[in-house]
Every structure is written in C-alpha cells, then in structure tokens.
Amino acid sequence: MRIVVQDAPFDPGAELNGFTVSTQGTGAVVTFTGVVRDLATGDLDVMEIEHYPGMTESALNSIATEAQKRWSLVDVLVIHRYGRLRPGDQIMMVATASRHRKDAFEAAEFLMDYLKSRAPFWKKEITRDGSDWVASKEEDEAALNRW
Amino acid sequence: MNVLYFAWVRERIGLPKERIDTDAETVADLVHELSAREERYAAAFADLTALRVALDQELSSFDAPLAGVREVAFFPPMTGG
C-alpha cells in the first residue's frame, strides 16, 4: 500500500507502469485519475486544494486499509495533490491490483467514494471574477451508503 | 488545546490555528464559548449542520467530550477526489 500526498504534479502513466510492474502477475489492475474540470463557462483559472496535513495521510491510510479488508487486493496506490492546480491538471489517482477484476474495480470505486467525503481536502475555484469554495454534494454522502 | 480552521471556516474566522485554554466539556460547549467571544466566530459557527469537527485528527461529533483532546479542527464537509 502506498499513500502519497503532494503538491507536485505526477505522471499517471509512469505511476501505472510502476504499479503494474510491482504487482506483476497479479491478474487485474484498475486505475482512476481525477483531472481538474473547467467550469461550464470555461473561465476557471485555478483550482486551489487545501488539506489537513497529518489527518489527510491517516484518513487515506484508513480508507485504503478498509478497502484491503473488504476486497482481496494485492496492492493499493493513492496519490492526491494539494495546492494550486489548473484545468487539465491531474488532481489524484487510485490504483488497485487483484487477481480478478471484480475486486480491483469495486475497491477502486469504494476508494473514490470515500476519498470524496472522508478525506480532508477542500477545493476552491478561482476565476478572474472571484472565488468560490466547492460545496459538497448530497449524492457524494449518499454514495457511501452502498458500501 | 490547539484549534484549527480550514477552508471557509478559516477565512471567516481569519486565522488557521490558535491555542485556546478552555474548560468546555464538549465540542458544542467550545463552539458556544467561541461564538460568544466575537462576531466572526458566531458567523462561522452559525449553522453547525454545515460544519464538521475532528478531534485529534479523527472525525467526531459536536456532542463529543473534549477531555484529553489536544487538537480540535473545524471545517466544512470535505470535497476530495
């Protein structure tokens, strides 16, 4: 299990290759990459991501540990950035490896659902005209109920 | 204890962290104490359903006791991923 919280950009392709090599022969690897989405108006300058150093790492660790308990996983990778990002930049990535694809798919979805509303990150959208904190969605909280 | 604020709670209160000496027994007591102190706290804590609290970096609740707690953090619902 590897948990990375950083402001620096990362290379999803290189991360996937490294993860696949390190879990060689496992059978199935699933990845999800979150990318900064522009506003519908196309004028997002910066997405600023704030986090709670210390709690972030421990929350990600417990979410990934819970995934390992629930599914048969060979390995889990979570990378999440903070700081000032621009549209098109990678925000985060999860990768799961298992012997059969069902475990890897379900665990990746579980990780994403919990990352959304249980990892202490907050997003702020900054445009030329001002800034707004991104509000949490009820559906994100509701998504946890299916697990 | 150390009290931390994140996102718009930090902006509304105007600082990221402060040290507070308190006899508050629960998180809710601490919130009342801070709200009575200054308007900016009252504004930040006006709607507790819009806030979350962590005690020593674990998500908790407003009725939780503060005995033995070293770090309290207030923040809006998280928006990771």
Residue-wise DSSP of A52-91: -TTHHHHHHHHHHHHHHHHS--SEEEEEEE-EEE-TT-EE
Sign of the CA dihedral running B34, B38, B44, B48: positive
Closest Cα in chain A, distance from residue B17 (Å): 12
pLDDT digits (tens, 9 = 90+) for A122-139: 999 999 999 999 999 989
Q: Do A123 and B8 touch (CB under 8 A)?
A: no
Q: Which pLDDT score is estimated for B65?
A: 98
Q: Is the pLDDT of residue A141 over 90?
A: no
Closest Cβ–Cβ partner in A34, A50, A135 for B6:
A50
Q: Which pLDDT score is estimated for A127?
A: 96
Which residues are CB-contacts of A107 (< 8 A; sequence separation ≥ 6)?
A30, A67, A68, A70, A71, A73, A76, A96, A98
Q: Write the ipTM.
A: 0.95
* E-state strands within chain A: 2-6, 28-35, 44-51, 75-81, 83-85, 90-98, 121-127, 130-133
Report all structural domains of chain A as residue ranges with CATH numbers, in order of start: 2-146 (3.90.1170.40)
Q: Which pLDDT score is estimated for A52?
A: 98
Do the beta carbons of residue A96 and residue A108 sit within 8 Å? Answer: yes
For range A10-36, the mean pLDDT = 96
Which architecture characterizes domain B2-75 according to CATH? Answer: Roll (3.10)
Q: Which pLDDT score is estimated for A7?
A: 98
Closest Cα in chain B, distance from residue A140 (Å): 9
Q: Do B4 and A91 touch (CB under 8 A)?
A: no
Distances (CA, A) of B78 to A14, A31, B31: 29, 22, 20
**Chain B: residue whose CA lies nearest to A94:** B81
Q: Do B80 and A134 touch (CB under 8 A)?
A: no
Which residues are CB-contacts of A100 (< 8 A; sequence separation ≥ 6)?
A27, A28, A72
Contacting A with CB below 8 Å, chain B residues are 4, 6-8, 54, 57-59, 73, 75-81
The mean of the pLDDT values for chain A is 96
Location of structure tokens 């102190």: B37
Closest Cα in chain A, distance from residue B34 (Å): 21
**Chain A: residue whose CA lies nearest to B59:** A118
pLDDT digits (tens, 9 = 90+) for A8-22: 999 999 999 999 999
Do the beta carbons of residue A104 and residue A73 sit within 8 Å? Answer: yes
Q: Is the pLDDT of residue B7 over 90?
A: yes
Domain range summary for chain B, segments of one domain joined by + = 2-75
pLDDT digits (tens, 9 = 90+) for A46-66: 999 999 999 999 999 999 999
Do the beta carbons of residue B50 and residue B44 sit within 8 Å? Answer: no
For range A114-121, the mean pLDDT = 96
* E-state strands within chain B: 2-5, 17-19, 52-55, 58-59, 71-75
Mutate to test the interface with A, among B49, B53, B70, B79 (most CBs of A within 10 A): B79
